[in-house]
Every structure is written in C-alpha cells, then in structure tokens.
Structure 1
Amino acid sequence: MSTTDWTLAARDAAAKLAVDALERDRANAEPLAEAQLLREHRLPGLLLPVEVGGGGGTWADALRAVREVAVADGSIAQLLGYHYVNQANLDWVADAATRERWQRRSGAAQWLWGDAVNPVDPDLTLTPAGQGGYRLNGRKSFATGVSSGDVSVVSGQDSATGRHVLVVVERGAAGVQPGGDWDNLGQRLSASGSVTFTDVEVPAENVLGFLDGDAATPRASLVTPAIQAVFGNFYVGVVRGALQTAAEYTRTTSRAWLLSDSPSAAQDPYVLATYGRLVARLRAAEALADSAGEALTAADAAGDALTWDERGELAELVAALKVVSSDLAVEATSAVFEVTGARATSNRVGLDRFWRNVRTHTLHDPVQYKAREVGDHFLNGTHPEFTLYT
C-alpha cells in the first residue's frame, strides 16, 4: 500500500477504537480484541517486505500509523509502536536465515510482537542448554505486549559469557507467566504488566543475536532512536485527540463566561487564542515528527553503510522530538480543561484520559536527559554513547 493507504487504514482503525475508548479505558481489560482490530487492518505487517506477506512500508509510514491510532487510543498506539520496534530487531540483529523465517511467520498471521527488554530491571538469565539453545529464567516488572502479543523479544544475559542476548519467546510457551498487574494511572490497555519466566525452553532457532560488543553496530543500535521516535509520535497523536475531543465539547456544551461579551464559548477571544497557541505548537510538533520519520527511514535504508555519526545525528533529531512532544503533551492535555470548563471534568466526559496517558508514559525515561543531549550536541557537537535509552 502507499503512504496514503497506510494512513487511511490507521485512521479507520482509530475511528473504530474511538467509539468506546473511554469505556475500554475504564474496564482495564486485556487488549485482545484491540490487537485483533490491528491485525484486521494489516497494520502489524506494515514494515515487513511484501515477499514475506508484509506491506513493504517505511518507518515514516509506521510512525504516522502510530500517531493516527494515538488520536483515539494511546494504549493501543503504544502496543503498535512497540511492536514495530520489536519486530524490526529481525532486520537489525538477526542473520538472514533467522530473519526470513520469523518474518514469514509474522507476515502470514500479522503477528504482534511484545517485549521483555526493560533495561533498568535486573537481567533475565539465559543458561546454555546445548545445541545453541537456552533456558530462560527471571522476572521483568514491565513487559509491554507480552500478555497480548503473539511473540515477544526478550533480552537476557548469557550465564556463561555475560553477553546480552535477544531471543524470541512465543505466547503460551511453557513457563511464561504474565503478572496481570498493570494498574497504573494511564495507558491502562497497553498490556505493560510484569512477566515471569521459569525454565522456558529457548531453542537455537529462537535466538536472534546480540546487542553488545561488536554486534552493537550503528544499524543494530537503531532500536533506541526508533523507540524514542515512537514515543514522540504517540504523544503528538494524543495531543491531537485531546484537542479534537475538547473542541467538540467547546462547540456543543461549553458556555461563555458571564463576563464575556461573546455569544458562545466557541467565539470567546481567550478560548480562541488558547486553542490557537496549542494548535500552532501541535502543527510544529507534527512537522518535527515527520522529519524524524523520514530520517529514520533513510537510516534504516542505509543498512550496514550507516555510520555512527549518521546514527548520532538521527538520535539528536529524535531527542528534539521527544523534548518538544513531551512538553506539549503534558501541557496541552491539561490546558484543554481551560477551554472546556468545569463541567468537562465529569467522569462521563472522560477528557482526563488523554492527560493520564501522556503523564504516565512521559515518565518512561526523564525528558531532561534528552534535553541535555540536544544541548550538548548543539554546543559541543557530541553524540551520546549507545544505550537502550540513547
């Protein structure tokens, strides 16, 4: 499909999610039906090559899809965005045979990929079990999509060598126990609870590769700017959803303040100015998000020719998006109450879910560190060393 087709597919999925977004947020259920909706729109296969059953899309397409879904439902946008990064490890880390095997299976069934990679948790342990396989043990506090996805990328430490290994664990494998304990302020349907692995068999064909030592090439390290770009697009999409929802309420329900000379809230100059400033900043953030998407597409297409300097420039562009989108998201999803009025705080309206979602997720990693990266690059021309956050 073309870029336009992917955008339309994502918008159609978002329209369906929007119908009962508030009710599903309150129910806090496992997002199995929502995952199936994404499959029906063939969004999980967007980045996969056409020859393996995928859509042949680009990272720019994928990030726009995440943004469109986020307008309606931030939780499901997170699931989709994380999926794209998790699945992309097949390109960035795995060898050719491993990559094709998993891509074909993924494309045929439009698999959703979860992850148990959170680097601030203690490492999972991978104990060599002969013939190139492992036994996996340990617990991760946060594991987005493991409980609702079809397969998951899992990072663990080889007990014999100390190396960090990426492996694939299929949903329902013996010894995999999702905690069902995600009960946070926002992103309630992101399936981000804990998971425990107890003597999970990981055959050699499920080993993707390494993310340390010589394996940490510029292309393999795209995992970090890619996930940070997902964050930025997700935040920008939530802002648009909040503004659209608030605008409808202002037009249909809000009342002009008693000291206002305007016949309606929608004509009050202060209301108009507040919306105007927020919309102007949103458009700027969307433009920055598009630039980051095109840059990530180009970096991915460069393949093994990608240099560390080029990767660093991409990372700084994405860091700028993270700073701008985080600040805008937290501010805008609060400011919408100023242009809707006191009655808009009713639980029946549910306008708070936009703020709850971005307030929860923008704490994923401190945005001040991203601001420092941008400032250091501007003043000193530096690029941060590769980590799973930089």
Structure 2
Amino acid sequence: MSTPKKSTRPPFAPADRPGDRPADRPGDRPADRSGDRPAERRADDGIWLRVTRELADDLAADAIARDRAGKAPFDEVARLQEAGLPALLTAPGPHGRGADWRSACAVIREISAADGSVGELLAHHSVLSWTTRFLGPAAGPLDLDARTAEKGWLLAGAVEPGGPDADRAGLALTPAGGGAYVLDGRRAFASGVTVADRLVVGARCTETGDLLLVLVDPAHPAVFTDPFPDRVGQRLAGAGTVTFDKVTVAPGQVLGALPRDEHAVAPYPTLAPLALRLLLVHVGLGIAEGALAEARDMSRASQAVAHHPGAPASGPSVPASAPLGDDPYLLRSYGELATAAHTAAAVVDRATDALARGLLAGPLLDVEERSDIAVLVAAAETVANRVALDITTRVLQLVDPATAADPYGTGPGPGFDRFWRNVRALTAAVPPDHRLRDIGDHYLNGTHARLTLLA
C-alpha cells in the first residue's frame, strides 16, 4: 500500500495539484549565475499558477530530507530559476514579467506551504526588486526590476546599514572620486545571502552621513559570506553574515539615497517595510496551511491503515471512498484549526488588497492612506502569527504518535516539527504587544503610524 501523495494546498482548498516530482536533482550544486535563465515567463500569460503549483509539489516531495540536511539552498534556487519565479516576482513594469502584488503574494504563500525557507527567500527578493521604484526619480541609472527580470537574478540584502553590536558592525561607504565608493563592514542578513546573485545593501557615507543603497555582486573576491549554522528554523533560507573588505562600488551600482530627515519622507516609499512584513506574514500563514494539509493527509492515511489492517506495505492506494476518522474530538480539532486558518487568511487578504491599492497609487499615496495600510498589516501580523503558531503546535497532537513515524513502515517520519520551527523563527522577532498598541492608538486616537523607510 503506498502512502498518499503529500498536499501543500490549504486544508480548505480542493486537492487539485497536478504533477509529481520530476527526476532526481543534484543535492548540492551551485546556482547558475551565467545570466541565461530558461523559462522566463510573462506575468500575464496565465501559466504562473500551474508553474507555481508544480514547483510547490516538487519542493514538498523532498522537504523533510532537505530540512534535515540543512545545506545551503543552491539546488532550491536552481529550481526557482528554472521555473522563472525570480523574474516573475519582480515589480511589474514595461519588461512584462513582473507579477502584480496580489499574484506575488499568492505565489509566495503557495511555495511557503511546501517549504517555508524558500518562501522567505522569495519574499525578500520580491520586495528588494521594488527598490528603485520606491526611490523614484532620485534613484540611480540602474533599473533594478527590469535588470533582475532580464537576468533572472535572485536578490538578497537589507536596507538598514546594520548596528553597532558585534554581530552587525554596520556598513560604510567611503567616497573614492568620480561617484564611486569603497564599501566596508560586516552585518548579518536574515535570508538569501549565501545563494544570491546580487545583494542590495544600505550603507552610511563616511563624509555626508547619507544612507545610500548599492548593488553588489556577492561573487566579488572581497565579499565573504558565512552561513548561520544550526538554525532552529528556516534552515534553508540562506541566512548569513557578509563581510565587505574594501569593495569598489561603481557609480552605476549606486541605486540612490534615502532621505536623512524623517519629515521629508513621502508616504509611498515607506510602503517598502510594510511590503516585506506582509510578505513574511504570507510565508508564515503558508507554512501553517501546509502543516495542516499534511496533518490531514497523515490522519487519512492512519485511518486507512486502521480500516485495512491486512493491506500489504506496497500495493494500490486506499480508495478515496475509504472511511475516514469519525472521532468527534479529532473532527472538532480539525474544525477549529481550519476555521482559524480561514480567519487569518481573511485578515491577511484584506491587508494584501489595501497594500496593492497603495502600490498602484504611487506618489499620490497620502499619509492617511499609508497609515490605514500600516494598521491592516499590523493586524495581519498579529492574527496570522498567532494562528500559525497555534496550528503548527497542535498538528503535532493530531497525528497518532504510534503511527507518526510512518504509518506504512516504508521510510522516515513526517517531520512535522519543521513547521513549528520555521514559524517560530519567522515570528520570534515580531513584537505583538507593539503591533497591538499601534492598532489601538490608531483606532482610539486616530494616530498616524510613523513614516519610516526601515523595517
């Protein structure tokens, strides 16, 4: 009897995912950095949904083994680039390959249900592709989203220059004449730096104090990356510490400068940190939906074995009409968790729609609209993070411990702990009390959220 195919679809969505995992891939090969990316796909050709679902199935098939191995995600990035997702998840524009905001969120959430680490990689990449859009006319000559789509780059990095502590000594740019700079310093990054094609980083100019955003090739001989070992969760997100040792930054690599005066910041660019926060919420919710769907499949498999105890270890799958669990407490638990997932999805989708409207407004976005978006994003974080932690904790109780290792005795256990570890790693740094305070202040006093370009 064969184990039912794992589903990464939400527990309340139809199990209509096509395709099985293709032929085995190399387990640890570097990403293709040649610039020739196959399967570049337009965002409006209707194929992205099928491509995403097939890739999610591919990632789900060996998610446990990859999580346990904990290797740098070169193979995962190669799969993404083969499917064309880095090009798809860029800011939409004349290049024609960028997905609209709602579609980008849907893609990232679908991938996260199969592998939360890969979802986080794509979330950071997607927001960073908007960098020159948010900077506007002040941006440098490099059209980052178009170049990223054309080359199929995977972007990583962060706008903040880092802090004074030992782990984030901060980044500094020293003018070298002719508009060039020399980049020095060391800082930690949450995602992608061990496998990225390009890094977008913020650094302080040593002469003016301006915060500049620059594009750096991580293959530069003066760029050194150290991965984070033994992470609790999100082990395949490519997090690490990067050291820049007198890296020359040409004028064309300077993307632009952020305003020094907070009062001079326009509302539209301050959507950048909100966009990243919301995409990470989609990642967390996707992980929870994937956990619940996999627990459902395991419960069905356990019930099938219970009703067919004499079935061989290998053979035809249990018919779809086989009786499933009728334990009222089990049914109630699944009902509670599916309802919680519905609720979180509704709150997250409302914030997603609001941010999509804000991105379309562009420079016309006003302070009031931006404040409303900030509150909806904070609400999405608060609700979805709580639900994701609850679901990924309780699914461990839904699977019979006697059969959780493998109901058919054919291989390793389901590895449900990875879902909780991944959600915990994503949400640990998000202070729910602060988010609730901001929501309450806005609701009670009409206070506008502070305009900031930093996460």
TM-score normalised to the size of structure 2? 0.79
Aligned residue number for residue 235 of structure 1:
284
Letter paired with 1:16: D
Deviation at 1:264, TM superposition (A): 7.9
Which segment is superposed worse, 378-387 or 128-137? 378-387
Aligned to 2:270: 221
Structure 1 residue 60 displacement after superposition: 1.0
In structure 2, what is the equivalent of residue 374 of structure 1? Answer: 439
Query: 1:21 maps to which residue?
Result: 63
RMSD (CA atoms): 2.3
State the shift of 1:183 in Å. 2.4
- The change in CA–CA distance for 1:212 and 1:100 in structure 2 (over 3 A counts) is closer
From 357, 370, 387, the counterpart of 1:298: 357
How far apart are residue 381 of structure 1 and its match? 1.4
Seen in structure 2, the aligned counterparts of structure 1 residues 123 and 100 have a Cα distance that, compared at 3 Å, is: closer
The answer on whether the counterparts of 2:341 and 2:387 sit within 8 Å (CA) in structure 1 is yes
**Distance (whole Å) between structure 2 residues aligned to residue 342 and residue 265 of structure 1:** 18
Can you give the 5+ residue segments of structure 1 that lack an aligned partner in the other structure? 257-262
Instruction: Give the CA deviation at 1:367.
Output: 2.6
Q: CA deviation at 1:57?
A: 2.0
Partners of 2:84 and 2:44 lie apart in 1 by 13
Q: How much has 1:388 moved relative to structure 2?
A: 5.3
**Matching of residue 245 in structure 1 with residue 294 in structure 2:** yes
Q: Identity across aligned pairs (percent)? A: 37
* Aligned residue number for residue 51 of structure 1: 94
**2:225 matches 1:178:** yes
1:378, distance to aligned residue in structure 2 (A): 1.5
Residue 273 of structure 1 corresponds to 332
Give secondary structure in 1 for the equivalent of 2:240.
Answer: coil
Change (3 A) 1:153 1:281: same
Deviation at 1:62, TM superposition (A): 0.7
Q: Which 10-residue stretch deviates more, 237-246 or 307-316?
A: 307-316
Kept in 2, the 8 Å contact 1:21–1:72? The answer is yes
Deviation of 1:311 after TM superposition, in Å, equals 1.1
TM-score by length of 1: 0.91
CA distance in 1, matches of 2:343, 2:46: 21
Match of 1:192 among 239, 259, 264: 239
Q: What amino acid is aligned across from residue 368 of structure 2 in structure 1?
A: D
Who is 1:259 aligned against?
none
- Partner of residue 189 from structure 2, selected from 133, 142, 146: 142
What SS does the aligned partner of 1:111 have? coil
For residues 382 and 11 of structure 1, the distance between their equivalents in structure 2, rounded to whole angstroms, comes to: 42
Cα distance in 2 between the residues matched to 1:136 and 1:337? 47
Residue-by-residue CA offset, 1:178-207 (whole Å, 9 max, x unaligned): 112342111000001111111011111111
Equivalent position to 2:423, from 335, 358, 372: 358
In the alignment, the residues of structure 2 paired with residue 188 and residue 356 of structure 1 have an alpha-carbon distance, to the nearest angstrom, of 9
Aligned length: 383
Match of 1:247, as an amino acid?
Answer: R
Whether 1:319 and 2:378 are equivalent positions in the alignment is yes
Structure 1 residue aligned with 2:396, among 315, 337, 349? 337
Residues 69-218 of structure 1: pairs in structure 2 closer than 5 A: 69-93=111-135, 95=137, 98=140, 101-117=143-159, 119=162, 121-213=168-260, 216-218=265-267
2:53 and 2:450 mapped to 1: Cα distance?
37
How far 1:208 sits from its partner (Å)?
1.1
What are the ranges of 5 or more consecutive residues in structure 2 without an aligned counterpart? Answer: 1-42, 307-321, 406-411
Is the 1:114–1:153 Cα contact (8 Å) retained in structure 2?
A: yes
The one-character-per-residue Cα deviations of 1:118-168 (angstroms, maximum 9, x if unpaired) are: 555443111111112211111112252122111111011111111211111
**What's the offset of the Cα at 1:229?**
0.5
- 8 Å contact from structure 1 (residues 337, 344) kept in 2: no
Alpha-carbon distance in 2 for matches of 1:101, 1:93: 11
- 8 A contact 2:87–2:153 mirrored in 1: yes
The amino acid of 2:171's aligned partner reads L
User: What is the CA–CA distance in structure 1 between the aligned matches of 2:247 and 2:182, rounded to whole Å?
Assistant: 5
1:389 Cα offset (Å)? 5.8
263-272 or 25-34: bigger deviation: 263-272
8 Å Cα contact 1:90-1:99 kept in structure 2:
no
Q: CA deviation at 1:344?
A: 6.1
Q: Give the superposition deviation at 1:115.
A: 0.4
